[in-house]
């Protein structure tokens, strides 16, 4: 089974609007962390936001927030007030406390329309 599933290959959003990028995960480990990364066309991986499995509140970092629904095993990224510079690939990732690696989803390509 896939550890991380991103079902939206591509998304479009109007500038200044909010957009939600979906991510579901699969783990039996009680302790894990969820991460979102942005990969612009230049190729580097830019860390955006982190959510721990025991965190009571949803993580927020500026215009980024993580809608964490533990029972549904989802960790959707919400980008508010989209900007043209937000156009990029977005990857959801998970690390289990018992494991060594990050598991990445296949990514969502976000295009912000002026």
Residues 101/81, Cβ–Cβ less than 8 Å:
no
Q: Residue 114 CB, nearest distance to another protein (Å)?
A: 26
Residue whose CB is less far from another protein, 18 or 97: 97
Q: Residue 27 CB, nearest distance to another protein (Å)?
A: 12
Residue whose CB is less far from another protein, 68 or 91: 91
Bridge partners (DSSP) of residue 22 are: none
Separation in Å, CA 44 to CA 31, 41, 79, 97, 101: 28, 8, 19, 25, 18
Residues in contact with another protein by CB under 8 A are 4, 31-33, 35, 37, 43-45, 47, 50, 52, 91, 93, 95, 97, 100-107
């Amino acid at each position: 089974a896939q550890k991380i599933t991103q079902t939206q290959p591509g998304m479009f959003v109007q500038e200044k609007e909010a957009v939600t990028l979906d991510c579901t995960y699969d783990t039996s480990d009680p302790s894990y962390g969820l991460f979102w990364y942005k990969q612009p066309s230049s190729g580097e991986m830019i860390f955006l936001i982190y959510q721990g499995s025991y965190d009571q509140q949803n993580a927020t970092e500026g215009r980024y927030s993580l809608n964490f629904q533990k029972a549904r095993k989802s960790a959707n990224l919400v980008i508010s007030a989209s900007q043209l510079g937000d156009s990029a690939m977005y990857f959801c990732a998970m690390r289990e406390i018992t494991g060594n690696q990050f598991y990445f989803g296949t990514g969502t390509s976000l295009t912000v329309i002026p």
